Amino acid sequence: MKKKRKHVDGRGGTSVASARGGTSVASARGGTGAQCMLPRRFDPSCTGVLFFCLGTIIYGPLESHFGGKEGEGEEGKEEKKERREEEERKRRGRGGEGGRRLREEKRNREKKKREGKRRKKKDSFRKLRGRVNGVGYSPDARLMPYLELAGFGSAALTQTFDLRYDLISALVERWRPETHTFHLPCGECTVTLEDVALQFGLPIDGDAVTGVSAIAEPAALCYSLLGTSPGDAESTFSELKFTWLKANFQHLSDNAIEEELVCAARAYIMHIIGGVLMPNSNNNRVHLQYLPLLADLRNVRSYSWGSAVLSMLYRELCRTTDPDAVDIGGCLILLQSWALYRMPFLTSVTHQPYVYPLVNR
C-alpha cells in the first residue's frame, strides 16, 4: 500500500495528494475549493474517468432540455403539437365519431340542465290554470225534455261554478300516472265511474264515444243537425266556437217549432261537452266529432258518456304531472266535487244537503 503525503502550499492551504501524483483538494486563503493537478506520470486509467465526467457535465443539461429521448428535439415537439391539433380538429368536426361524441355530450349537458330545472319546479308549489268554459246561461224550459231524453238533463243544471285551483293543483301533485290514483298519506284513492254517475248523472254503460277527427262536409252537417252553419258550403272547419253557439241558440222565439227546439238542444249539449265535461286545449271551441252522435236524441243515452269524461280527466291529470305544464283540462268540476264529497274535511260547511246530482250542491 502506497503512502500519501501531506504538504502545505505557498498560500497557507493544505493539500492531500496521492503518491502517484493524482488530484488534490486544497484550500485557498482559508477557503475550500477543487484544484486539478496534472499527474506526474500519464495513467491510461484516468482517461475513462475523465470522459465520464465530461459526458455527465455536457449531456445532462441537454437531456433535461430536449426531453431525454434520442432524436427528440424541437422537431419532435412540433410533430407532437401538430398531431394533437389534428386530433382536436377531428374531434370537434361535424362528421365522424368525434363529432357524434361531441354532439352527444352537448345533448347530455342540456338534458341534465332541463332535469335540474324540472326538479326545481317540482319542489316548488305551482298553481295550475283551468281550461273551462261554462255555458253561462240556463237552458230554456222547453229544452229540458229533450235534454233529459238524451241523458244530459242533470249535467245541464250546472251553469256556474267556482273552481278552487289551489285544491286542484294539490291533487295533481298527488296523482301517479302508473296507477291512475292519488297517493295520500292515508292510502290511495281515485275517481271512478260511480262518482261520475253520482256527480253528473251521466250514463256510464253503453257504447264507446268515438268519432272522426276530419269531417268531409262540415257545413252540410251543421245545416242538417243545427239548422245553420258558421260557414258556407265551400268552407272547411272542424270546430264550433262557443260564442257562435250562444249567439244563435241562447234566445228562442216564443213560437219555435219542435225542429228548432231539437237543434237548440243539440247546440246546448255541444256546449256542455266542449266547455264543461271534456274541455281540451281549444278552450273556446268544441270539436264537430260529437255532433253526429247527437243526430237521434233517443239514442244518445246509449253511449257511455261518463266513461269518456273520466278518461279525458285521467289523461289531463297524467299530462299535468309534467312540471312544465301550466294548465289543465278535463272535467275539473267533477274532480273538485269528488274531492269535497269524499274528503268532507276540505269543505267550509261540514253538513250539506244531499242533492242529486251531487255537483249541484
Domains in the chain: how many in total? Answer: 3
Residue 26 and residue 136 in one domain: no
Closest alpha carbon to 211 in 294, 98, 96: 294
pLDDT of 9 higher than 50: no
Q: Which is higher by pLDDT, 178 or 4?
A: 178
Mark which of 23, 40, 66 sits at the end of a domain: 66
Residue 62 and residue 180 in one domain: no
CA 196 to CA 335: how far, in whole Å?
Answer: 9
Side-chain half-sphere of 73: how many Cα atoms within 13 Å?
3
pLDDT of 225 higher than 90: yes
Q: Work out whether strand 181-184 and strand 175-176 pair parallel, antiparallel, or are unpaired.
A: antiparallel
| DSSP assignment of 86-115 | HHHHHHHSSSHHHHHHHHHHHHHHHHHHHH
pLDDT digits (tens, 9 = 90+) for 99-108: 677 778 888 8
Taking residue 341's Cβ as centre, other Cβ atoms within 10 Å add up to 18
Residue 115 and residue 135 in one domain: no
Cell of 169: 293543483
Residue 25, SS3 per DSSP: strand
pLDDT the model gives residue 284? 86
pLDDT the model gives residue 30? 45
Residue 83 and residue 53 in one domain: no
CA 147 to CA 242: how far, in whole Å?
Answer: 18
Measure the N-to-C terminal CA separation of the chain; round to a whole number of Å.
127
pLDDT the model gives residue 300? 95
CA 197 to CA 203: how far, in whole Å?
Answer: 7
Residue 152 and residue 190 in one domain: yes
pLDDT digits (tens, 9 = 90+) for 328-339: 989 999 999 999
Residue 145 and residue 262 in one domain: yes
Residue 79 and residue 205 in one domain: no
Residue 79, SS3 per DSSP: helix
| Residue 225 buriedness (CB in 10 A; 0-12 / 13-18 / 19+) | middle
Residue 119 and residue 133 in one domain: no
pLDDT of 343 higher than 70: yes
Residue 294 and residue 224 in one domain: yes
pLDDT digits (tens, 9 = 90+) for 30-79: 444 444 454 455 555 555 555 555 555 555 554 544 444 444 456 677 77
DSSP alpha helix (H) spans, the chain: 45-66, 74-92, 96-123, 144-150, 165-174, 193-200, 218-225, 242-249, 258-272, 305-319, 332-342
Residue 200 and residue 265 in one domain: yes
pLDDT of 23 higher than 90: no
Residue 192 and residue 286 in one domain: yes
pLDDT digits (tens, 9 = 90+) for 145-155: 999 999 999 88
Mark which of 19, 41, 66 sits at the end of a domain: 66
Q: Which is higher by pLDDT, 231 or 347?
A: 231
pLDDT category of residue 98 using cuts at 50, 70 and 90: low
Give the domain range for residue 254. 129-360
Residue 114 and residue 146 in one domain: no
Q: Which is higher by pLDDT, 112 or 140?
A: 140
